[in-house]
Amino acid sequence: MSKIIVEHNPDPARLKSMGVSSWPTWSKEVSTFPWNFGEKEVAYLLEGDVIVTPDDGEPVHFGKGDLVTFPEGMSCTWEVKQPVHKHYSLG
C-alpha cells in the first residue's frame, strides 16, 4: 500500500502550475471519522490541523499550507484537530 505524502510549504509556482486555486474545496469541523479513498486525492490545506491514520500504518500529521497526496484504496481515520478547509483534486 502506498503512503500519504506530505509536502510542507510547496513552491507557489508549482501550486499555480497544478491549478490548485481552481480545484473544488471541502471543509470539515473538528471531528474524528473513518474514510476510504476510492481514488487518488491531492489536497492543499488552506486551514486546519489534521492527523490521518491509515488502517495499516502510522499516523500522519499535516496542516495549513501543506500539499498532501493520498493513495487510491487507502482506508484510514481522520482526526480533525482544527477545522479544515482544503482544495482537492481526485484521480
Q: What mean pLDDT comes out for the span 13-31?
A: 98
**Contact present, 3 and 40 (Cβ < 8 Å):** no
pLDDT in tens, 54-69: 999 999 999 999 999 9
pTM greater than 0.85 (yes/no): yes
Tell me, what's the pLDDT at 1? 57
Please choose, from the candidates 29, 24, 44, 33, the residue with its C-alpha nearest in 3D space to the C-alpha of residue 75.
Answer: 33
User: How many C-alpha atoms does 80 have within 13 Å on its Cβ side?
Assistant: 18
- Give strand pairing partners of 41: 70, 90
Query: Which residue segment(s) compose the domain that 34 sits in?
Result: 5-90
Which CATH number characterizes residue 82's domain? Answer: 2.60.120.10
Q: Give me the number of domains the chain comprises.
A: 1
The amino acid at residue 30 is V
Q: Hey, CA dihedral for 78, 35, 47, 59, is it positive or negative?
A: positive
